[in-house]
Structures are given as C-alpha cells and as structure tokens.
Chain A
C-alpha cells in the first residue's frame, strides 16, 4: 500500500518543518510520525515510515530507529481506541491493578491485544503524569482519570456508541 498526505496534512507537515533551521528538517521527525500515525490507521506500517523518510529527505532507517524507540508509536495494527492504562507506583498504590483486571474482564482481552471487532486495544503503560488523579488511562488525546469500575463501564459504552452509530 502506498500513502500520500492530503493537502491539509501536507500543509501541517510544512508548518512543522518550518520551525527548524534550513537543513535541520530531520528535527520534525517525531511530530511528523505523530501526524502520520493520526492521519491513517493509528499505526506505522513500513511503507508509511518510508513515505515520511522521503518527505523529510532522510534514510528510511533513520525513521525506523526512531519509531521503534518511542512508546507512543505503534508498529503493529491497533484497535480504533487504545486504552493505555498506567501501572506505575502511584497508580498502583491507588488501585490500578483492579482497574486493569476489570478492563481485561470486560473486553475479554489481555494487555497488548485488540478486541475481535477491532474497536479496543488494551495497552499497559508507564507513568503518564496524572499521579494525583489515579488510577487513570489515556484514550487518544484525552486522560480519563479517577477511574472506578463504574467509570470504566461508562467509558467503554461511550466509545462503543461512536462506532455503532
């Protein structure tokens, strides 16, 4: 499959590149990969990384080594919504274990897996900087905080509704 940014996406890429001095366009790599991941299927297939390399005039390997280093870049297909649940110390002492177990039970998936309908992926992550509002998870751009089992139920229903409607 080949990938091409539309006009809006290309304009955004050019805005990102323009922040850096002439010849330092590689600096735009992380933001460009976010843009690529958000613009297509939520993950970075090799062809998409190659496309970004060609746009930034760098070698594909320079993109692969970066994409594989940062935890927010997905190198495998993911569901429409990713529940990224924090499991680090402050969340753990505030009850994240129970929340993680509950989500697994509700969605019938283990961490790293995607539901059969392709809607939800469960990912366990390390500290996201919401320790005072624990337990928490990130879904897309948003932090869902002070999680309880009831809250998890309503969050799942909320996202499921956006798919079925």
Chain B
C-alpha cells in the first residue's frame, strides 16, 4: 500500500458530511494556516513541497502563486478549475463527490495565502449533482464558522461560490474559464497579460485544479519538506489516477508516483489486469491529448528501463518514444481495439471542442476528423497518412491556447507508433470493416502469452 494523503479517509462512512469530516481531523490545516502562518509562509511551504499542477500541465504551484500581482486596492481572486473534461479523466469528480470538504479546506487555506475574499469554483455543467453536493458542503462550512466574515476570529473573510459551466472542454483552459466566468463564450485570451496580472474582471487571479488545491491540505498539515519526501525526484507527493478502458478495476486511485506502470496495470491493488484475460495493446497514460504508447514502449522505455507512474518516467524519450503523466487520465486499450477508430473518436472530440478562434485548430481539427473517418471506413489512401501528419504539424504550436497541441498530439502519436495499422486499413478496405489488425509487434514485453 502506498501513502495516501487525499483519499485516506475516502471510505469512512459519512465523510461527505461536515460532522464526520471534522471528527476525522478535517479543517486542521485552516486552523494552522490562519493562526500560526501568514500568506508568505504558506506560499513558501507550497514551494518547498514541489507540488505541481494536477490539471495536466504540471507547472509548479508555489511558483504560480508567487506571480500574483498585488496592486493596492484591487481585489484578487482564486478560481478553482473543476471543469474536468479531458477524456479519460474523472478524478476531480470523485474527490468533489465523496470528500467535498477536502476541496473547501484547501480552498480556504489557498484563498488566505493569495488574499482572495471571493473564491469561485468553476465546475463543468454536466456535474450538476456535484454542484448540489458542493453547495451543501459550503453551507455546512459557513454554519460552522469556516467561511464568511472573521474566520476563527482572525479577521480573514472568505466566501466560496460555485458556478456551473454549460458544456465546453475549452473552458478547462484557464483564460477561457475566466471568460466563461465573466458570462462570455469560452474563447482563450492571448497571453500576456497572464491571469496573475489581469484575470477575472481584469483583477489578479490564480486558477488551480481541484486536486492541486486539495493537496494544499496535507502540505500544510505535514509541512512542505515532508510532502516532498513522498514520491521521487520532481514528482513529489501523491497523484490521483483515473483508470479506465479495458481493465478489470476501473476507478480512481491515489499513487505515490514510485510504482511502475506494470504494477499499476496488473496489480490487484490498482487496475487488476486486462479485462477478460486479453492482452494489453496500448495505453494513453495522461488524458486523451497525451501521446498513445504501444505496450512495449509503455511498460519499458526505449532503452529498456522500467517505466514508472510519474512525470519524468512517463515522458522519458520525449514524444518519439514517451508520453506524459498529464491529468492522470489512464486509458487502457486491449488487443481487440482499433487504433484508427480510437484516434477518430478523439479527433472528432477535438473538432467538436475547438472554439474556432484560430484557423489552424478550427480548420485542422475538421480535416483530421474527415480524413480519419475516410480511412476508418475503407476509403483511405496511403497519401492520407502523410496528409494527416502534415496537418497535425501545422496545428501544433500555432494556436492561442494548447487545445491545438492537444488535438495534434493524439493523431501524431497514433501515426508514429501504429503506421502499419493505418496502412493495413487502407490496403484492406473490406477486411478492415469486419476484422481487426490485432496486436502485431506491440505486445506487452513482460506478460507474453503462453
């Protein structure tokens, strides 16, 4: 069993309620932060912890906090990004649904550190029932003196508001989220200025992911140095992984980033192996936008080293032979899955979610979907593969926000690692409609079938 800092109490009956959460030691970090610490020392602890943004980008949280501008007389805001929409990712949902007070506790401490008196949780519109759970938790926290005016008689005031989005992946991008919170279309802003200088209503703003803000609680409780001892290298602390696809035990797991990918997939403590005794074909380890890896490159790096579930190891080899930890959305594909079709559904997703501001993304995502659709349905040509490659290259890096990259990477990685499967589809237009390319040389290098 690895260390658990966020979900250690997840199975305590009634932990969703204030009463049980408090009895189990909840809200201690607020007492410590407000009474024994000051905003600067909290930021220092977060820097020492090495915590990196858990939404997908992995940017150091303490550093992000230290960028916030503090002009005289201008209110500042903390915004919690609960717009979890990256396919394969459902960890924030789990945390908010089952331990809502953990997020609130982290939000109060973080609001104190950043000087935010009105803090907003922007939650994806589809999580409607979780909005109710959060509102209920906020009412409980307020009734018990953890929110509102003069918290713990320290003079600190903090209010937390929940705002529902309305169905738009792009609003997970922090400036699009801010636009949406201002009642506009979710069009990402050109940066600079960064939100830390001009964010919500042009005021200094920090936007952090749900899991990042929840992790502030253990950091304050055990201290940044102790937190940094968990994990390995620059992958400190614990990470929530949402595992899905063709595995025996899909769900949300908290890992300490020292376990191997093989252990994560095959151990009964985590995914419990591939469903139906089938073989592992491929995996998208960090949410749909990160590069897909065939089994042989997933479990071991290109140089034959064991691959681990952390930021550095998963990206070992760069995009040529590696991937990313990303949001922790871990999608497992078995031997029966078709890479062309899987890539098509992701291309359709990104075309649907492109906000349309930048031509390379607006046009490119549509073309990629059309060409993949053509190949999947037996009408492709070999030149289409090169055309796809060309389009994705022209999207990457040429857009205002990272959605362009997110749309380009899955297509690029699918072609990079599974080009022969694309060619097989094209060369076997009839057969590919009823049968499958299968495993070929992508098989799991460790679990070879008898």
Contacts and interface: CB of A to CB of B under 8 A. Distances in A.
Nearest to A130: B90
Given A94-B245, A141-B129, A89 B166 contact: no
A133 interface: yes
Contacts of B246: 93-94
Given A30-B183, A69-B168, A70-B167, A89 B90 contact: no
B90 A131 contact: yes
A60 interface: no
Contacts of A28: 183
A130 to B, nearest CB: 6
Interface in A57-114: 58, 62, 65-66, 69-73, 87-90, 92-94
A92 B331 CA distance: 11
A118 interface: no
Contacts of B166: 30, 33-34, 70-73
Interface stretch (B28-36, B342-350, B379-387): B342-350
A128 interface: yes
Interface in B306-347: 329, 331, 333, 337, 341-342, 345-346
Contacts of B345: 87-89, 92
A89 B288 contact: yes
B44 interface: no
B126 A34 contact: no
Interface string B249-263: 011100000000000
Interface in B102-128: 118, 120, 124-128
A131 B88 contact: yes
Contacts of A142: 129
A26 B183 contact: yes
B183 A66 contact: yes
A134 interface: yes
Interface in A23-74: 24, 26-31, 33-34, 56, 58, 62, 65-66, 69-73
B281 to A, nearest CB: 10
B411 interface: no
Interface string B332-375: 01000100011001101100110100000000000000000000
A90 B85 contact: no
B9 interface: no
B168 A70 contact: yes
Interface size class of B (residues with CB under 8 A): 35 or more
B300 to A, nearest CB: 23
B242 A131 contact: yes
The interface centre, meaning the residue of A30, A31, A62 with most chain B CB atoms within 10 A of its CB, is A30
Interface string A124-147: 011111111110001001110000
Contacts of B329: 131
Contacts of A125: 167
A30 B85 contact: no
A72 B163 contact: no
B165 interface: yes
Interface of B: 75, 84-90, 93, 118, 120, 124-129, 161, 163-169, 180-186, 201, 242-246, 250-252, 284, 288, 329, 331, 333, 337, 341-342, 345-346, 348-349, 352-353, 355
10 cross-chain pairs, A with B, having the tightest CB-CB distances, nearest first: A29-B183, A71-B167, A70-B166, A132-B250, A72-B167, A131-B244, A26-B183, A127-B87, A69-B185, A141-B128
Given A71-B168, A88-B346, A138-B126, 12 more contacts: A30-B183, A66-B185, A70-B166, A88-B87, A89-B346, A93-B245, A93-B337, A127-B169, A127-B288, A129-B124, A131-B242, A131-B250
16 contacts: A62-B183, A65-B184, A66-B184, A71-B166, A72-B166, A87-B345, A87-B348, A89-B88, A89-B284, A89-B331, A90-B87, A90-B244, A93-B337, A127-B169, A129-B127, A132-B244
